[in-house]
Structure 1
Amino acid sequence: MTTNDNAAVDLHFEERGGGLPVIIMHGLFGSLSNWRGIARSLSENYRVINVDLRNHGRSPHVPGLSYEAMANDIVALMDRLGIERAHLVGHSLGGKLGMVLADRYPERVARLVVVDIAPKWYPPWHKDVFAALDAVDLDGLESREQARQQMAVHVFEPEVRAFLAANLEQEDGRWRWRFNLPELKAAYEHTSDMPPLSGFYLGPALFIRGAQSAYIEMDDEARIARDFPQSCIVTLERARHWPHIEDTPGFLDAVNRFFAHGCQAFAGDRPSL
Structure 2
Amino acid sequence: MPQLEVAGAALTYDDEGPRDAARTPLVFVHGWTADRHRWDHQLTHFRDGRRVIRLDLRGHGESTGAGVPTIAALAEDVLALLDHLEVERFVPIGHSMGGMIAQTIALTHPARVERMVLVNSIGRMTYSRGRGLLMAASTLVPFKLFVAANIRRAFAPGYPREEVRAHIRASAGTPREVVMTLYGAMRAFDLLDRAGEIGTPTLMVHGYHDVQLPVRQMLRLAKAYPDAVVRVLDAGHELPVEKPAELTAVLDRFLAGTP
Output the aligned Cα RMSD: 2.8
Which structure has more RCO (C-alpha within 8 Å, separation ≥ 6)?
2
Please say if 1:72 is aligned against 2:68.
no
Note if contact 2:69-2:184 (Cα within 8 Å) is conserved in structure 1.
no
Unaligned runs of 5+ in 1: 1-5, 137-147, 169-176, 267-273
Question: Could you tell me how far apart the structure 2 residues matched to 1:253 and 1:200 are?
Answer: 28
- Which structure: greater helix fraction? 2
Between 251-260 and 180-189, report the one with greater CA deviation: 180-189
The higher radius of gyration belongs to 1
2:67·2:177 contact (CA, 8 Å) conserved in 1? no
Question: For residues 217 and 10 of structure 2, what CA distance do their matches in structure 1 show?
Answer: 38
Q: CA deviation at 1:196?
A: 2.8
2:43 equivalent in structure 1: 39
Distance (whole Å) between structure 2 residues aligned to residue 85 and residue 29 of structure 1: 27
Trace 1:22-61 onto structure 2 (pairs within 5 A). Answer: 22-61=26-65
Match of 2:244 in 1: 248
Question: How much has 1:67 moved relative to structure 2?
Answer: 0.8
Q: 1:257 to 1:100 in 2, by over 3 A?
A: same
Inter-CA distance 241–187: structure 2 relative to 1 (3 Å threshold): closer
Q: Could you tell me how far apart the structure 1 residues matched to 2:59 and 2:67 are? A: 9
1:37-186 to structure 2, matched below 5 A, reads 37-123=41-127, 124=131, 127=135, 131=141, 133-135=143-145, 158=161, 159-167=163-171, 177=173, 179-186=174-181
Shift in alpha-carbon separation, 1:132–1:208, aligned structure 2, 3 A: farther
Percent sequence identity over aligned pairs: 24
Partner of 1:172: none
The Cα offsets for residues 127-147 of structure 1, whole Å up to 9 and x where unpaired, read as 3788463459xxxxxxxxxxx
Question: 2:25 maps to which residue?
Answer: 21
Equivalent residue number for residue 209 of structure 1: 206
Listed as ranges, the gaps of 5+ residues in structure 2 are: 1-5, 156-160
The CA distance in 2 between the partners of 1:83 and 1:11, in whole Å, is: 16
Is the Cα–Cα contact under 8 Å of residues 67 and 181 in structure 2 kept in the other structure?
A: no
Counterpart Cα distance in 2 of 1:65 and 1:54: 12
Distance 1:81 1:34 in 2: 22
Count the aligned residue pairs: 233
2:187 to 160, 172, 192: 192
Task: Tell me the TM-score normalized by structure 2.
Answer: 0.79
CA distance in 1 between counterparts of 2:142 and 2:31 reads 18
**Partner Cα distance (1:117, 1:65) in 2:** 19
Give me the whole-angstrom Cα distance separating, in 2, the residues matched to 1:220 and 1:50.
24
Hey, what's the Cα distance between the residues in 2 that align with 1:27 and 1:74?
13
**Distance of aligned partners of 1:235 and 1:8 in 2 relative to their CA distance in 1, 3 Å threshold:** farther
Partners of 1:118 and 1:59 in 2: how far apart? 25
Partner in structure 1 of residue 3 of structure 2: none
Aligned residue for 1:225?
223
Q: Give the drift of 1:190.
A: 2.4
The 1:27/1:187 distance shift into structure 2, 3 A limit, reads closer
